[in-house]
Amino acid sequence: MSFPHLLSPLDLGFTTLRNRSLMGSMHTGLEDSRRQFERLAAYFAERAAGEVGLIVTGGFAPNIEGWAKPFAGTLATSGAARRHRTITNAVHAEGGKIALQILHTGRYGYHPLCVAPSALRSPISPFKPRELSARGIERQIRAFVRCARLAREAGYDGVEVMGSEGYFINQFLVAHTNQRQDEWGGSYANRMRLPLEILARMREAVGPDFIIIYRLSMIDLIPSGSSWDEVVQLGKAVARGGATLINTGIGWHEARVPTIATSVPRAGFTWLTAKLRAEFKAEGITTPLITSNRINTPEVAEEVLARGDADMVSMARPLLADAAFMKKAREQQADEINTCIACNQACLDHVFEQKTASCLVNPRASHETEMRVVRIQGRARRVAVVGAGPAGLAAATTLAERGHEVHLFDSAAEIGGQFNMARRIPGKEEFAETLRYFRRRIERTGVQLQLNRRAAASDLVDFDEVLLATGVTPRNPRIKGQDDPALAGRVLSYVDVLARRSRVGQRVAIVGAGGIGFDMAEFLTEPHSPALDLPAWQREWGVADPAEVRGGVCPAQPAAPARQVTLLQRKSGKPGAGLGKTTGWIHRAALKMKQVQMIAGVHYEAITDEGLWISFGERHEDPQLVAADTIVLCAGQEPLRELLEPLQAAGQRVQLIGGALEAGELDAKRAILQGTRVALAL
């Protein structure tokens, strides 16, 4: 497939972008230390070489008050600007263009010096902001303008002014967070004065031939958010007031609607950009609009642009997942793109855990300087990789890319291991893309794949090296009665349900509330996948047209659950506490909507014809029956490494990777990272 709209250049008058893709701003953590600028430069340079039209950096604060957290990356001096040359030179050397995002977090700042229009703490920060005086506001405006001037001095092609996601500028726009009585509060004209003042003065300072992107919140997804009339009024004023491009922002960070998780339908918010574009057209405004959120393949991007929803598409995480996304699209190799599955596990979750952001499907992201794929010198080794789950796939393809002779065995009829179960979960359909990518990469790199082949130790002794990526087996919780022949077919493991497709009754008790227990509850209660049906998803999460409801949120109308499910765990804490920081709340909210009952702190006493008997406390008190037709066991996993001992006994060189090495807290992020690292070192 060709992508004529996505690949057509965009003429901005004083400069031309080579195509319609923008690498959206994504904080990696490397911004916050000047010692990491070499790494940041290599990371961006790889994306520039991959032909993205315009890169936007992660956010840099214009001053201390604007910090996201203490000592966050700041651009406020000429000395700092000089250091940014490392980044801009590297990008320009690859023929790319790059803009610096100016991010003032206002009351979202995780530090005691944060400021805001009014002294109102946000629901997601422990710090109450200081209310700015009129002079204080003037200082912030000057800081924004200085930051843009310094960005130009540093060699950037432009800046993006962050005006959405509930940050500082957004906090002025909405009456709920701006309760000022002076010329910066009250009427909407007063509330939107701040961004317009910043833009006008910024344009004057940087001149006409410098890109200024304004990121505009098109739907706040909070009850008292902007109305559509206000969005349009601001959009027009921003277009006329000096912005070169207008980017789409979706939802404040405190919103309780998922906006980028894998369960959000692809391109699920581009209708808002389309709506604004129609308003612009009616008034002859030609400022290009960039649309955003859950656009992760060139096919989706092309469709959005061809439909006329926007002039450009922003993709942040998809460019982490594959630096060469646009190059592959241009070279008609879209099927080789490593697609972002929107899991957030190695990118946003890392940012929240104060770790460097990377990517689950591409562990080289942000580690370009250290994880180099170097072709081997000298003799290629014959390597057997046993198991084509995420760990084995990453290892086999990386080894083959480096020039080794690789034989990959799997006892199943298809590659993917547990990902074949994961992709059956409603809202996790994207996981199939990773398997498509690896299937193609196996062909391209020349890995010799043998499916339906359960490898025995005797098959492996002639290889120079064996990697055991044989994964895990479900843990048997050994609950009294579970193997009673009279209950045959009523006690199932997650593998029975997801891989063997065993029949499940109407009332279900799930033993184990980890990642798989939660997924199982979603699988059993969702009548269909809302991720594939935008109107159904919008009803499920209460997303409305902001032209009808201020802020674009209304009461949720979830579909009735397909089954009555009880989810249990032995620990006494909150079920799902170990789920990802940025997605755990979504899973918990989804199960609440599906009326899943969660019970923690239980002992499993017995399984009988009636269901599952549980009790509580040290003395196993208060016995209760969870009436159930089917009991599904999701009690964790244990490593499967039956080949290790015989191979070691035969003197074979052998290494374990993925679940075969360690099943505790195993996820695909660790499996792929481990597979890649081992393959790079061999």
Interface with ligand NAP in residues 468-507 (CB under 6 A)? 475, 477
| 100 or 602: CB nearest ligand NAP | 602
* DSSP result, 472-517: EEE-----TTTT-GGGTTTEEEHHHHHTS-----SEEEEE--SHHH
Q: Are 122 and 254 in contact (CB under 8 A)?
A: yes
Q: Positive or negative, the Cα torsion across 433, 435, 437, 439?
A: negative
Residues 6 or more apart from 406 whose CB is under 8 A from it?
383, 385, 396, 399, 400, 445, 446, 447, 448
CA angle 182, 186, 188 (to 5 degrees): 125
The verdict on 455 binding ligand FAD (CB under 6 A) reads yes
Packed helices 193-206 and 228-240: angle between N→C axes, nearest 10 degrees: 20
Nearest-CA neighbor of 216 among 277, 157, 258?
277
The helix/strand/coil state of 58 is strand
Nearer to ligand NAP, 404 or 588 (CB): 588
Q: Which is nearer to ligand FAD, 427 or 558 (CB)?
A: 427
Q: Which does 340 bind (CB under 5 to 8 A by kind): ligand FAD, ligand NAP, ligand SF4, none?
A: ligand SF4
Contact by Cβ (8 Å): 274, 308: yes
387 binds, among ligand NAP, ligand FAD, ligand SF4, none (CB under 5 to 8 A by kind): ligand FAD
Total chain residues near ligand FAD (CB under 6 A): 38
Residue 202 in the binding site for ligand FAD (CB under 6 A): no
User: Contacting ligand FAD (CB under 6 A), which of 206, 351, 460, 472?
Assistant: 472
In 3-state terms, what secondary structure has residue 319? helix
Say which entry of ligand FAD, ligand SF4, ligand NAP, none residue 391 contacts (CB below 5 to 8 A, set by partner kind). Answer: ligand FAD
Strand 465-468 versus strand 211-219 pairing type: unpaired
Residue type, 94: E
Residues of this chain, 293-322, that bind ligand SF4 according to CB under 6 A: 317, 320-321
The interface partner of residue 246, options being ligand SF4, ligand FAD, ligand NAP, none and the CB cut-off 5 to 8 Å by kind, is none
Tokens of residue 32, six digits: 């916050």
Tell me which residues in 598-637 interact with ligand NAP (CB under 6 A): 634-637
Contact 99, 91 (CB under 8 A): no
Q: Which is nearer to ligand NAP, 12 or 495 (CB)?
A: 495
Residue 555 structure tokens: 């009461």
Contact characters 507-546, ligand NAP, x per CB under 6 A: ----xxxxxxx-x---------------------------
Q: How far is the CB of 388 from ligand FAD (least distance, A)?
A: 5
Say how far residue 57 (Cα) sits from the centre of its chain: 17
Residues 6+ apart with CB under 8 A from 364: 358, 371, 373, 676
Among 53, 387, 530, 558, binds ligand FAD (CB under 6 A): 387
Q: For residue 415, which of 464, 456, 469 has the smallest C-alpha distance?
A: 469
Q: Which residue has the tokens 């899991």?
A: 343
Q: Are 310 and 273 a contacting pair, CB within 8 Å? A: yes
226 contributes a contact to ligand SF4 by CB under 6 A: no
Q: Among residues 425, 565, 586, 628, which is the contact residue for ligand FAD, using CB under 6 A?
A: 425
User: Can residue 570 be called a binding residue for ligand NAP (CB under 6 A)?
Assistant: yes
Q: Name the phi and psi angles at 258, rounded to 5.
A: -65, 140
Q: How far apart are CA 353 and CA 429, in angstroms?
A: 26
Give the residue with the Cβ less far from ligand SF4, 344 or 569.
344
In the complex with ligand NAP, the residue whose CB is nearer, 548 or 622, is 622
Q: How far apart are CA 91 and CA 468, in angstroms?
A: 40
Residue of minimal Cβ distance to ligand NAP:
514
Contacting range for ligand NAP; rule: CB under 6 A; set: 158-166, 209-217, 529-537, 659-667? 659-667
Q: Which does 63 bind (CB under 5 to 8 A by kind): ligand NAP, ligand SF4, ligand FAD, none?
A: none
| 546 binds ligand FAD, rule: CB under 6 A | no
Q: Binding residue for ligand FAD (CB under 6 A) from 342, 659, 679, 680?
A: 659
Among residues 156, 167, 494, 604, the one annotated as catalytic is: 167
- Shortest distance in whole angstroms from residue 679 CB to ligand NAP: 22
Would you call 560 exposed, middle or buried from its count of C-beta atoms within 10 A (0-12, 13-18, 19+)?
Answer: exposed
d(CA 534, CA 497): 27
Asked whether position 586 contacts ligand SF4 by CB under 6 A, the answer is no
Tell me which H or E stretch contains 270: helix 270-282
Is residue 418 a contact point for ligand FAD (CB under 6 A)?
yes
Catalytic: 214? no
**Which listed residue (169, 219, 360, 591) binds ligand SF4 by CB under 6 A?**
360
411 binds, among ligand FAD, ligand NAP, ligand SF4, none (CB under 5 to 8 A by kind): ligand FAD
Residue 634: contacted member of ligand FAD, ligand NAP, ligand SF4, none (CB under 5 to 8 Å, by partner type): ligand NAP
Among residues 264, 388, 390, the alpha carbon closest in space to that of 338 is found at 390
Q: What is the DSSP letter of 336?
A: G
| Residue tagged 């209310």 (tokens) | 131
Minimum CB separation of residue 132 from ligand NAP in Å reads: 40
Q: 481 or 578: whose CB is closer to ligand NAP?
A: 578
Sign of the four-CA dihedral 315, 320, 323, 324? negative
Least Å distance between CB 664 and ligand NAP? Answer: 7
- Which residues participate in catalysis according to the annotation? 167
Residues that bind ligand FAD (CB under 6 A): 343, 345, 386-392, 409-412, 417-419, 421-422, 425, 454-455, 469-472, 498, 515-516, 519, 640, 643, 658-659, 666-669, 671
